[in-house]
Structure formats: C-alpha cells, structure tokens
Amino acid sequence: MPPEAAAFPRLQKIKVTLDKQNHLIFEAERERNKLEIELSDLKGLARLTKKKELENRIATKTEEIRTFKAGLSGIVRQHGFATVQDFYTAFYTAQRANDAYEKECAKREEVYGEKATPKAESMHEKLQRYQEKADRQNANQPHRSRDKGAR
C-alpha cells in the first residue's frame, strides 16, 4: 500500500471534522441572513424599537461565524498542516492513491481469485486450527495398548 493511501483513513477523519465545522458555519450564516432580512423588512415604529436589537444579534452572529472560520485553520494546524488548502491538497492526493490501490486489489482478486490483503488470523482461530490438526493426526494413529502383558 502506498504511503499516501495509508494516510487516507486519518485524513478522512480530519475531513469529517472539517465538514462538521463547515456545517456549523453555514447554519450560522443562514441565521444571520434571516436576521438581516428581518431588519430590512422593519417598517415604521418597529424599525425604531427593534433595529438596535437586530443589529446586535447580527453582530453576534458575525463574530460567531468568524470564530468558526478561525476554528477551521486551527483544526488543520492541530494535525500538522499549515493551511486548510494544504490539507485538502494532501487529502485529495491520498484519496486518488487509495482509489488506485483499491482498483489494483480488485484486479488482483479477479485475476488470482484471492484477496490481496489476507485477513489476520486471531489467536482463537489459530488454536482451533492446531487442535483440529492434532485431532486428525491422533485419529490416523492406531490405538496402542500400554499393557505389556500379564507377568
């Protein structure tokens, strides 16, 4: 397995974390847009009374969005990448390498009829296999009497 393909599962976990953070950002932006629409729809006396409150809520949402966006770069820095763009470059490279490796494994399985990466045998399975082998060997041997005869 190429090193890029081997790194893919770790990078995939980081991407899931980034996707969750992006989802939070999109939700916050959606809420901020609703507040801005509500502010622009205010008329007359309501405009005077609710304007300040809505502007404060919009400012709070904007600050929350800025914090979430800063969290994106913090997540990738925590895992050793300088920027989010560097992470995505490494992620897509690893994804392509992993896809190529899986295709290669599928070809090998098709050609040879066996899995490219055999499953590791557990200790229980090994013991069971050895026990069956010993039972077969004992069944093939004739029974020997320990009796040497009467004296």
Asked if the structure places residue 80 within a domain, the reply is yes
Polymer length in residues for the chain? 151
% of the chain surpassing 90 pLDDT? 13
Over range 37-54, report the average pLDDT.
79
Number of domains, the chain:
1
Listed range (98-102, 117-121, 139-143) with the worst mean pLDDT: 117-121
pLDDT classification of 147: cutoffs 50, 70, 90: low
pLDDT at 23: 92
DSSP 91-148: HHHHHHHHHHHHHHHHHHHHHHSS-SSPPPPPHHHHHHHHHHHHHHHHHHSPP-----
Residues 6 or more apart in contact with residue 145 via CB below 8 angstroms:
none
Asked if the structure places residue 118 within a domain, the reply is yes
pLDDT at 118: 53
| Enclosing domain of residue 116 | 3-140
Express each pLDDT in 46-102 by its tens digit: 677 788 888 888 899 999 999 988 888 888 888 888 888 888 888 888 888 888 888
pLDDT at 26: 92
pLDDT at 43: 77
Asked if the structure places residue 151 within a domain, the reply is no
pLDDT at 76: 86
**Do the Cβ atoms of 91 and 80 come closer than 8 Å?**
no
Which residue type is seen at 2? P
Asked if the structure places residue 55 within a domain, the reply is yes
Asked if the structure places residue 146 within a domain, the reply is no
The answer on pLDDT for 16 being more than 80 is yes
Asked if the structure places residue 149 within a domain, the reply is no
The answer on pLDDT for 38 being more than 70 is yes
